[in-house]
Each structure stands twice: as C-alpha cells, then as structure tokens.
C-alpha cells in the first residue's frame, strides 16, 4: 500500500512540473489523485465484502451450504447382504443365495437422452415403445427398476452403454439345489428375497440379513467417486440346519412320484419321522413345482399337503381304537371278537367287511382290518372315554411343528352337533374325523416310542419334552399287532422288508365332497414303523384318487405300501440301521445261493400280497 502511495505522488509531482497549454488555460485541471483514491477505496470495499462473505459461508452458514451440497452429490447407499443358507442335517446346502445385479435408472436423467432409449431397450430385451412409455410415466421420479436379478455380466454390458441416468446395484437371488424334491418343505422367496412359503417363511426373520448403509459422493453422472463413511455394517442372515436328510428326501420324492404316475393318482403325500426325536427326515408332495423357475406354476401346487390338507385316516385309526380298548381293560390281545356275518347295522347304514372273517382275536382285527371288529371294540367304551383317548394323541390340534398353515383337523366331541349316534362306530375305523399325514405320522411315532409323543420339528437338534400319551406295555402290544399286518395273512405283506420286522396299518377311505362321499374316489394311506424291535423310522404315505382302471385296485396295501417299502429299504441302508430279523435274511441268502448253484431252492414262506379289507360305508 505504501508503494502505491509513493507511485501516485511521483505521478502527481511530474504532472505539476508540466506547463498548461496556452489554448487550454481556462480548462479545469484533471484530479487524478481523487479518482485513484476512489478506485482503491472501491476495490478495498469489495475485498472486505468477499472476505466477509467467505467467512459467513465457511463459518456461520456452513451447515446450510454443506447440506445443499450434499443433497446434490452425497448419497446414502444400502449395502446388500445375503440371506442365511439352509442346509440339511448333514450340512449339505439346500437353499443358498447367489449374487446378481439389478439395472435401474433415474428417469429424470434418462429422459434427457431419449434418443438412446432404443439402444437401451434392445439391450434390456424389451420393446422400445414400452421402455419409452415407462420412463415417460415416471419422469418426475428419481428411481425405477429396469431389469432385476440378472447375471452380473449381462448387467455390466447394459451399464457399459454409458447412458446418463443408467446404473446397476448388487442383489441376491435364492437357489435351491434340490429343486422340486424339496420345494414344499423349503418354500421360496419373492423378488425382494423375503420368504413366501414353507420354512423360508417360517424362519424369515432368522434367515434375513440386515442391509448396511454407507455415504458416498457421486459425480454429476451418478458415478461413485469417493466413499465417505460407513454408516451401518451389513449383517448377513443366520444359517439354518434342518432335520431333513436330503438323501431320504430325494428317495421319498422319487418313489412317491413314480407311484403317482403308475397309478394315475391325482395327488400324494409322504412323511418320514425319526421316532426317537420327532425330527422330520423327509416330507414330499405331488403335484409339486420348481422353486428355481421364473414361473412358479399354479398356486395350488405350492401347498404342503402333508401339513395343510386333512384326510379321513381310514383304518390307520384301528390301532388307536384297539389301544383304547386295551387301556380301558375291556379286552386283551387274545380276546375273541365275532365279526360274522361280515356286517352289522349302524343307524341308517351298515358297517361291512369285504369278507366274513368270522371270529377274530383283537390282534386279528388289526391283521385283517375288520371294520366290524373295530366297531364292536368301540361299543364297549363310553363315548367320552373314547373321545378323550383319541384326543390324547392331539388329533384336532395343530402338531406344533411351526410350519406355516398347519391344519388342526376335526374330531367331533360327544354332545356336539356333529356327534351322532353312529359317530363313535365310524370313528373307530377312521371315518367321521380327519387329520393330516403329519399328525398320523406323529401318532405312529408315539406308538413305536413306548407311548411317548414328541412335537414334530424341522430343525435339527430342536427337541420338545416328550409327553406320555399311552402306557408303554400297551404301546408295545399294539406295535406287535401291527407287525402281523405285513406278515403272511395281513393286508400289507408288500410292505415287508427283508431282514427287518415291519409294523404298519393300511387305510382306505372314500373321498368326501359336497353332499357326501364321491363315487369311486378314494384316499389310500399306509402308516408304518421299522424296525419293530428297535423302532427308528415312522412313515406315512397317502395317495389320493388313483385311477382304478390303471392301477387295478383301490386298496392301500397294493397302492401305498410299496412306496413305504422302497423308501424304508433305502433309509435303513443310508442310516446303517442293523437288521432285527436275521433269520429271514439268512434264509433268503441260502435260497439265493442255492439258486445260483443250480440246486433246489429251499421251501420257505413267501410274501403274499393280499387286498386290504374293505373300509367303505354302505
């Protein structure tokens, strides 16, 4: 500033030494000092104003301007996280999340490059006019998905078009290695990776991760140029280990599907349970669907029929009726029951057997599956006693597995409007009440477990406290009676397994419809336990509406029991369950050896497939 003043003084001094021109003598002298002072003052004032403004912006009003700047360039972005993996009991993955990309746009920005929309539409595989319409309709928005959950390479090619307002983001898509075989157990997720059916829905909170959040700076084209701060760490979902064994599951699905095709049936369900724990080892249903497909098929195929659909259990109820009579002390296993002439009146109807079995023991009532015998046993019991005994096995209640949509079933109670004079008799052989295949499997597990009943579970290691629903001695007696069903003279010899004692019960029931039972429509059920001496597995197979002309039968023995035998043969091998019938196994080995050597085959007891006794109301 001093140098400036000195320069001005020198200029003024030189100017004062000059003589004015004669002809401009009267002209006013030019005041250069004043003008320069004005200019300097003006520039100084501007500098002070700028400094003051800068100080205000940087110190006093910084929050406002920082906010405005951040609103244009700083964004909070969600950090995607994966859903927890689901594995079978052996740690094999049955549901996993794989990374994918979703292409999205800022319609406000994208609409400015309308001339490039045809190229974008071609890359997206959609009509140009459709894309233009969608973008135009959302021109006031800042976000719109264009294509979701696609291969990351495909997404990169689309974004590589470098169209302003076009971006991609990482997401995760669920994949099910077992496909149709485990579809009803696992269910599926929606496009936002939230469970919609099955165990994906039941354990959605457990499996769902918590997305993270980070602050970034974007340039004017929306590209991330700097990561500012991690607001929240992403938390992956928790893994879930199921009680399901994928090997037994696939075997169950394959054999059930094959049988449905062979018999022309409309649908079928199968459940395998671990008797000692209540764990569900396999559960299959048909029709089914592919959870990996873009289209999941008809919603009707999504139902887990083994849990949600009720059936009349037919003669699978007879072991419960016999157990009730034994518990009440009105009979013993050797008590004689006269079933002649193969029918008896029951109100306006008649209870019939397909054969006149004459006089049977209580065990024989199970072996021959006599409706008349079961009804006569029930007649010895008071109505309330029989009802209370059936309720001990939690029929008419949810099984408590936690699976979405569990059905309770229906058990009429004495004195209720749906309890008639004929109800107790028809309930004794499985009509007039209904239950799900899972409920029936739970009951047979209790019979084989010394009368101890567990809640069924789909989670490995999750066990409820067992409930003693039946005296162990009576449970064992009933189990030995059920063994006769699969031995010569029984109704399901086809369910026998070489080297193992097998117990079971067939059940054939007419299918109910509007206004009564449907003509030539049946639900065929086989419930069994193996091995008898050290029970390990309980299995229920239910097949609905077989084509009688195609299958040649409408009895559960030849229709449903083969599925039980094939699945249990495989399961016993897979789980290394030792045989409990060594004698029959050795005899079979001897016959096979003799046959290979060309020697006479020793005469032995050959399995005989007999039709199950009729279980049809007339």
Residues 156-186: tens digit of each pLDDT: 999 989 888 888 888 888 999 999 999 999 9
* Residues 337-348, mean pLDDT to the nearest whole number: 94
Residue 18 has pLDDT above 70, yes or no: no
Between CA 331 and CA 16 the distance in angstroms is 146
Q: Which of 315, 182, 303, 260 is nearest to 547 (CA)?
A: 260
Confidence at residue 505, expressed as pLDDT on a 0 to 100 scale = 97
- The one-character DSSP state at 284 is E
SS3 88: coil
Euclidean distance between the first and the last CA atom of the chain, given in angstroms as a whole number: 123
Q: How far is CA 312 from CA 206, 374, 618, in A?
A: 36, 16, 16
Q: How far is CA 508 from CA 12, 42, 561, 567, in A?
A: 127, 107, 12, 21
Within 10 Å of residue 436's Cβ, how many Cβ atoms? Answer: 28
Between CA 535 and CA 575 the distance in angstroms is 13
Burial 12-44 (b: 16+ CB within 10 A, else e): eeeeeeeeeeeeeeeeeeeeeeeebeeeeeeee
Between CA 583 and CA 580 the distance in angstroms is 9
Chain-centroid distance of CA 198 in Å reads 2
Confidence at residue 606, expressed as pLDDT on a 0 to 100 scale = 41
Place of tokens 């009802």: 387
SS3 361: strand
Confidence at residue 235, expressed as pLDDT on a 0 to 100 scale = 84
- Strands (DSSP E) found in 8-92: 74-79, 86-87
Between CA 54 and CA 61 the distance in angstroms is 10
Residue 213 has pLDDT above 80, yes or no: no
| Whether 315 is catalytic | yes
Residue 218 has pLDDT above 90, yes or no: no
Q: Which of 82, 168, 315, 544 is catalytic?
A: 315
Q: For the chain, give the percent of residues with pLDDT over 70.
A: 86
Confidence at residue 607, expressed as pLDDT on a 0 to 100 scale = 40
Confidence at residue 300, expressed as pLDDT on a 0 to 100 scale = 85
Between CA 362 and CA 367 the distance in angstroms is 9
Bridge partner residues of 170 (DSSP):
101
Residue 30 has pLDDT above 90, yes or no: no
Q: Which of 360, 279, 356, 260 is nearest to 318 (CA)?
A: 360
Do 545 and 511 contact (CB within 8 A), yes or no? yes
364: part of which helix (H) or strand (E)? Answer: helix 362-368
Residue 356 zone, left/alpha/beta (φ > 0; ψ -120 to 50; rest): beta
218 or 148: which carries more pLDDT confidence?
148
Residues 239-295: tens digit of each pLDDT: 999 999 999 999 999 999 999 999 999 999 999 999 999 999 999 999 999 999 877
- The one-character DSSP state at 27 is S
Q: Is 560 exposed, middle or buried (0-12, 13-18, 19+ CB in 10 A)?
A: buried
Residues 545-557: tens digit of each pLDDT: 999 999 989 999 9
68: part of which helix (H) or strand (E)? Answer: helix 62-73
Q: Copy the structure tokens of residue 583.
A: 């004698």
Strand 224-232 with 212-218, pairing: antiparallel
Between CA 57 and CA 63 the distance in angstroms is 9
Q: Which domains, ranges and CATH numbers included, belong to the chain?
A: 78-241 (3.90.1310.10), 246-593 (3.40.710.10)
- Helix (H) and strand (E) counts for the chain? 22, 19
- 233 pLDDT band (50/70/90 cuts)? confident
DSSP string over 423-467: HHHHHHTT-S-BB-HHHHHHHHHHHHTTTEEPPPBSBTT--PPPE
Please name the residues in contact with 85: beta carbons below 8 A apart, sequence gap of 6 or more.
93, 95, 96, 97, 239, 240
Chain-centroid distance of CA 546 in Å reads 27
Within 10 Å of residue 169's Cβ, how many Cβ atoms? Answer: 14
Q: Which of 419, 430, 421, 410 is nearest to 318 (CA)?
A: 430
Place of tokens 């084989």: 448
* Residues 426-442, mean pLDDT to the nearest whole number: 97
Within 10 Å of residue 348's Cβ, how many Cβ atoms? Answer: 7
Confidence at residue 192, expressed as pLDDT on a 0 to 100 scale = 84
Mean pLDDT of the chain: 87
């Amino acid at each position: 500033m001093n140098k400036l003043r000195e320069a001005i003084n020198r200029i003024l001094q030189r100017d004062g030494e000059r003589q004015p021109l004669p002809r401009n003598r009267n002209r006013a002298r030019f005041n250069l000092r004043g003008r320069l002072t004005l200019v300097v003052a003006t520039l100084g004032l501007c500098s002070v104003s700028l400094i003051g403004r800068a100080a205000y912006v940087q110190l006093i009003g910084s929050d406002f301007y920082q906010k405005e700047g951040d609103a244009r360039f700083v964004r909070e972005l969600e950090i995607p996280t994966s859903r927890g993996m689901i594995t079978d009991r052996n740690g094999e993955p049955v549901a996993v999340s794989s990374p994918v990309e979703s292409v999205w746009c800022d319609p406000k920005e994208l609409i400015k490059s309308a001339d490039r929309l045809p190229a974008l539409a071609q890359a997206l595989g959609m009509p140009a006019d459709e894309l233009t319409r969608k973008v135009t309709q959302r021109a006031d928005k800042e976000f719109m998905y264009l294509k979701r959950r696609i291969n990351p390479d495909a997404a990169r090619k689309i974004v590589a078009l470098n169209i302003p307002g076009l971006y991609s983001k990482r997401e995760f898509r669920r994949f099910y290695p077992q496909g149709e075989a485990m579809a009803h157990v696992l269910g599926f997720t929606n496009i936002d990776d939230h469970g919609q059916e099955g165990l994906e829905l039941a354990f959605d909170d457990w499996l769902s991760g918590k997305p993270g959040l980070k602050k970034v700076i974007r340039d004017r084209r929306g590209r991330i140029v700097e990561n500012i701060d991690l607001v929240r760490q992403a938390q992956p979902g928790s893994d879930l280990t199921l009680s399901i064994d994928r090997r037994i599951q696939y075997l169950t699905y394959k054999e059930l599907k094959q049988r449905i095709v062979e018999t022309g049936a409309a649908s079928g369900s199968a459940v395998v349970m671990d008797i000692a724990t209540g764990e569900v080892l396999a559960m299959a249903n048909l029709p089914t669907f592919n959870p990996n497909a873009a289209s999941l098929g008809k919603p009707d195929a999504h139902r887990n029929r083994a849990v949600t659909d009720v059936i009349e259990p037919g003669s699978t109820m007879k072991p419960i009726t016999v157990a009730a009579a034994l518990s009440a002390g009105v009979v013993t296993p050797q008590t004689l029951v006269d079933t002649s002439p193969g029918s008896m009146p029951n109100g306006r109807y008649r209870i019939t057997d397909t054969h006149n079995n004459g006089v049977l023991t209580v065990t024989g009532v199970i072996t021959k599956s006599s409706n008349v015998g079961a009804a006569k046993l029930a007649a010895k019991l008071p109505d309330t006693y029989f009802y209370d005994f059936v309720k001990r096995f939690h029929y008419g209640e949810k099984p408590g597995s936690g699976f979405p949509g569990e059905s309770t079933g229906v058990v009429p109670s004495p004195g209720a409007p749906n309890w008639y004079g004929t109800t107790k008799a028809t309930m004794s052989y499985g009509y007039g009440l209904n239950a799900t295949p899972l409920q029936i499997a739970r009951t047979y597990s209790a019979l084989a477990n010394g009368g101890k009943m567990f809640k069924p579970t789909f989670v490995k290691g999750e066990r409820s406290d067992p409930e003693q629903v039946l005296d162990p001695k009576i449970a064992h007696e009933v189990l030995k009676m059920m063994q006769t069903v699969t031995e010569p003279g029984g109704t399901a010899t086809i369910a026998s397994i070489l080297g193992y004692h097998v117990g079971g019960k067939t059940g054939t029931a007419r299918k109910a419809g509007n206004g009564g039972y449907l003509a030539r429509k049946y639900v065929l059920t086989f419930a069994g336990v193996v091995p008898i001496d050290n029970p390990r597995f309980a299995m229920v197979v239910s097949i609905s509406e077989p084509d009688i002309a195609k299958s040649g039968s409408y009895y559960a023995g030849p229709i449903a029991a083969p599925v039980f035998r094939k699945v249990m043969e495989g399961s016993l091998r897979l789980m290394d369950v030792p045989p409990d019938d060594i004698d029959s196994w050795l005899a079979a080995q001897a016959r096979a050896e003799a046959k290979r050597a060309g020697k006479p085959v020793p005469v032995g007891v050959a399995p005989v497939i007999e039709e199950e006794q009729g279980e049809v109301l007339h």
